[in-house]
Amino acid sequence: MTSAGHDPTSSGIGGGGGAAGKEGRDGGGAVVSEFPLQAGPDAHHFPIRNRIISGMAFGTVVVEAGKSSGSLITARLASEQNREVFAVPGSIQSFKSMGAHTLIKQGAKLVENAQDIVSELGHFLSGPPAGGSRQKDLPFEQRHALTAEEGEVFRALGPYPMHIDELVRKLSMDAGPLSAILLHLELKGIVIQQPGKLFSTAHDSAA
């Protein structure tokens, strides 16, 4: 639930708290569940769990979703909870784009880059960074709270723009998960997306 140098994490789970709940509490975070303590992570629990996740978030972003994807359940729940719903469009020839395109038709905000999200949720994201000057002494990946996958993608980029298809080949990663990671890095201000699905490191980011 937590790791050294990272802020405490809160999560919603599709089962009872058990050991995961103790780990989250000990790390200063929280584990939220509607199920009895010893309940297992059964498949039918997860749509119920998604209601908690959408309620805990300021907004829900759907990157790839088929016509019957569980992501659409989360997006519907977010809308019912008066949360923002965002969707990233994809190829009209891909079945993985059908869910996101349906959401956009229904009024979800179309997302092309991180700024589209920041412009809607910026009032929630503002505020001084925790830790003050101590943050500068931390390694780059801890300073920006990068996961292992985010660090791998960031290191693959440089100051010169790289097309997402080239990144897919370079990292041997599917385009959907890669797009989600790039979006997270944009929100952290260390990656820039340029027209044509080109990505580069931000000018003031340095490893």
E runs forming strands in 9-126: 10-12, 30-32, 59-62, 84-87, 109-110
Q: In which band, very low, low, confident or very high, does the pLDDT at 5 lie, cut at 50, 70 and 90? A: very low
User: How far apart are alpha carbons 86 and 11 in whole angstroms?
Assistant: 20
The residues, ordered by sequence, that sit 6+ positions from 1 with a Cβ below 8 Å of its Cβ are 8, 9, 11, 20, 23, 24, 27, 29, 31
Domain identity same for 105 and 16: yes
> What is the per-residue pLDDT for 84?
92
> What is the per-residue pLDDT for 194?
85
Which of the two residues, 133 and 74, has the higher pLDDT score?
74
Comparing CA positions, the residue from 7, 5, 117, 1 lying closest to residue 63 is: 117
Q: Is residue 204 over pLDDT 80?
A: no
> What is the per-residue pLDDT for 40?
79
Helix (H) or strand (E) holding 117: helix 114-125
Domain identity same for 15 and 69: yes
Apex 34 CA angle, 145 and 22, nearest 5? 50
| Mean model confidence pLDDT for the chain | 80
Print the domain residue range for 88: 10-112
- Structural domain count of the chain: 2
Helix (H, G, I), strand (E, B) or coil at 151: helix
4 found inside a domain = no
Q: Is residue 72 over pLDDT 50?
A: yes
Query: Whole-model pTM?
Result: 0.57
> What is the per-residue pLDDT for 3?
41
Domain identity same for 105 and 149: no
> What is the per-residue pLDDT for 170?
93
17 found inside a domain = yes
Domain identity same for 34 and 102: yes
Domain identity same for 156 and 96: no
> What is the per-residue pLDDT for 133?
47
CATH number of the CATH domain containing 33: 3.40.50.450
176 found inside a domain = yes
pLDDT in tens, 133-187: 454 555 666 667 788 899 899 999 988 899 999 999 999 999 888 998 998 888 8
